[in-house]
Homo-oligomer: A and B are copies of this chain.
Amino acid sequence: MRIGIDLGGTNIAGGLVTDDGCLVFKKSIPTRIDSEAVLLSDIVAHIKTIASEAKGEEISSVGIGVPGHADDEAGLVVCCNNVPLNMTDLVGYVKRETGYECHIGNDADAAALAEVRIGCAKDFNTAVMVTLGTGVGSGIIINNKIFTGCNGAAGELGHLCIDPEGLSCNCGRRGCFELYASATALIRQTREAMKHHPESLMWTLAGSLDDVSGRTAFDAMKKGDETGKKVVDKFIRYLSIGIIDVINFMQPEAIILGGGISKEGETLLAPLREITERECYSTYKKKTEFLIAELGNDAGIIGAAFFGD
């Protein structure tokens, strides 16, 4: 039995995971970000709560996915968005306080690992998961293991450049993929289109600019709205640029799409496949499959439980 923790800016989600990936117990507590000390103490308390549900079964390891950059070898959380861990020896702390072996990693990597080990990509060994959320998160799995590069920071696909003269990104580049293909970007693109098209059905569906979501343009398109369709087409076009880059780079067996927008399923995948087929450098024999993530929020817990394995 293992423990997986998915540390987020809002909640610390955690659970008991069997060696074959079943999540047999899960529980979340709010993330208190008052200080590093408070957060560390809450993480350890939550691990102990979860362990107490193991009913005497041995806990072989704890894995913690963090919303940022972790160096498992050094045991350090290098830096995180939204939570006060900065060059924090999280592994050392958890080991000392709980006695359990501990591994840490990036939360998007955890989700990718879970989908490949027991989720939608369980028939594949090499896959890239691209999560369309506030930004574009991603995890690279090669031969069933997370590929982290020389310093734990590989797989930052959200920061591939798709337009050198494009929007400024806070990473220091211009035209980063996530500024065009995240849920945040889709919402921005939807709002801009609505401003230019007061006749669009999107006004009725969303109610106001403030209530626009990642679904607004998709829903409008399905009801025949032309502006909605244009927004979706352009968004998928942007998405395809990064996806084709990934395929030309590493020809993974599968690309897994996650995040709210991925729930559009074939509405998203069909045009993406068509563009990819046309523009990928090689389409010989085995082609990269497109899959929709299926483990939802549990992926972060399950994947973290597999860290170091």
Contact = CB atoms under 8 A, between A and B. Distances in A.
Nearest to A285: B151
Contact of A149 (B151, B171, B252): B252
Given A249-B156, A250-B140, A279 B71 contact: no
B153 A284 contact: yes
B71 A249 contact: no
Interface string A221-250: 000000000000000011001001110111
A160 B248 contact: yes
Given A78-B284, A279-B173, A284-B71, A250 B149 contact: yes
Q: How many chain copies does the complex carry?
A: 2
A212 interface: no
B245 A149 contact: no
A151 B238 CA distance: 25
Given A160-B160, A160-B245, 14 more contacts: A69-B282, A140-B250, A151-B251, A151-B285, A153-B282, A154-B249, A154-B251, A156-B249, A156-B281, A157-B249, A159-B248, A161-B162, A164-B237, A246-B249
Interface of A: 69, 71, 74, 78-79, 126, 140, 142, 147-157, 159-165, 171-173, 237-238, 241, 244-246, 248-253, 278-282, 284-288
